């Protein structure tokens, strides 16, 4: 038994020794392998560091050049805007501002002038006569305002002024009576051309061949049978021309005369008075005394 035990121990020791040797060999082998790997991989690690540094270097330079390109693109775009859009050309902004200021000032002056004309009362015909005869224009505007069939308006404006001057009474009288009697010839007996109500009664109607003939006859009658005997206001003329009126006839005639005076409908209603039919009369030769007495 002791001999077998010793042999067994010897065998175990031998096995352990072999195992230790094997372990030592394995450790040495691992150490040698590590050394070999270190020799192999060290250069690659240095290359990786070099590559990283180069990447950082080129990245920095890339961003630098990208920044320069971005700034140049902004400058080029700004120059293009200046060239294609004059309103954005700040180098000429001062001149544009000066031009705009002049335009604004001119516009303001024009508006101020227009407002002054609108606010100020219309010029009196007597004042306008001193620098130029505005009477034909006042009559023409009156005819046009109410769409009278007496056209062209400018020609009839001259006609009424010349006729009034010929017989020596106010140029507004005949158009005003015509407005009251027929709405400036819009409501008359068919084919009569009678715009003033002359000779219209139960026995018949006095007819004329034209508007002008009608007003020429009326001018003679008004001059001889009214003005020359002292009837020189619409109220006085009404007492003979249409004695049955309650005053509305003279009131209307005065309104139309005032409207022509101021060339304004509202002022005609506001500023009407019992006007003198000689107010704007011009010196004239004696009229023909042979006119028929139709009234």
User: How sure is the predictor about 14, in pLDDT bands with cuts at 50, 70 and 90?
Assistant: low
Mean per-residue pLDDT over the chain, rounded: 74
Q: To the nearest whole percent, how much of the chain has pLDDT over 70? A: 55
Tokens of 278: 């000689």
> How high is the pLDDT of residue 130?
44
- Answer whether residue 49 shows pLDDT above 70: no
Q: Classify 138 in phi/psi space as left (phi over 0), alpha (psi -120 to 50) or beta.
A: alpha
Interatomic CA distance for residues 198 and 231, integer angstroms: 18
Q: Residue range 189-194: average pLDDT?
A: 93
> Against a cut of 0.85, is the pTM above it?
no
Instruction: Kindly report, residue by residue over 55-95, the tens digit of the pLDDT.
Output: 677 667 667 778 787 777 787 766 665 555 444 444 444 44
Type and span of the H or E element at 292: none
């Amino acid at each position: 038994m002791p001999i077998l035990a010793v042999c067994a121990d010897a065998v175990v020791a031998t096995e352990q020794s072999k195992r230790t040797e094997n372990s030592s060999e394995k450790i040495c082998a691992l150490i040698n392998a590590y050394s070999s790997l270190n020799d192999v991989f060290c250069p690659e690690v240095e290359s990786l560091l070099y590559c990283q540094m180069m990447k950082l270097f080129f990245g920095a330079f890339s961003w630098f050049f990208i920044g320069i390109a971005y700034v140049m693109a902004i400058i080029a775009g700004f120059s293009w805007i200046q060239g294609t859009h004059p309103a954005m050309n700040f180098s000429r902004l001062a001149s544009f501002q000066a031009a705009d200021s002049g335009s604004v000032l001119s516009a303001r002056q024009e508006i101020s002038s227009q407002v002054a004309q609108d606010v100020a009362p219309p010029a009196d015909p007597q004042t306008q006569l001193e620098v130029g005869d505005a009477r034909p224009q006042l009559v023409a505007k009156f005819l046009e305002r109410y769409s009278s069939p007496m056209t062209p308006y400018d020609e009839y404006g001259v006609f009424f002024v010349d006729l009034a001057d010929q017989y020596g009474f106010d140029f507004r009288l005949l158009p005003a009576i015509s407005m009251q009697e027929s709405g400036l010839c819009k409501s008359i007996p068919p084919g009569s051309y009678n715009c003033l109500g002359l000779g219209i009664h139960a026995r018949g109607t006095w007819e004329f061949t034209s508007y002008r003939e009608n007003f020429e006859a009326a001018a003679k009658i008004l001059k001889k049978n009214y003005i020359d005997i002292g009837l020189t206001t619409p109220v006085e003329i009404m007492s003979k021309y249409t004695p049955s009126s309650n005053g509305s006839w003279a009131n209307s005639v005065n309104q139309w005369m005032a409207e022509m005076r101021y060339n304004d409908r509202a002022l005609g209603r506001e500023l009407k008075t019992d006007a003198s039919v000689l107010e704007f009369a011009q010196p004239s030769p004696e009229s023909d005394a042979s006119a028929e007495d139709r009234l």
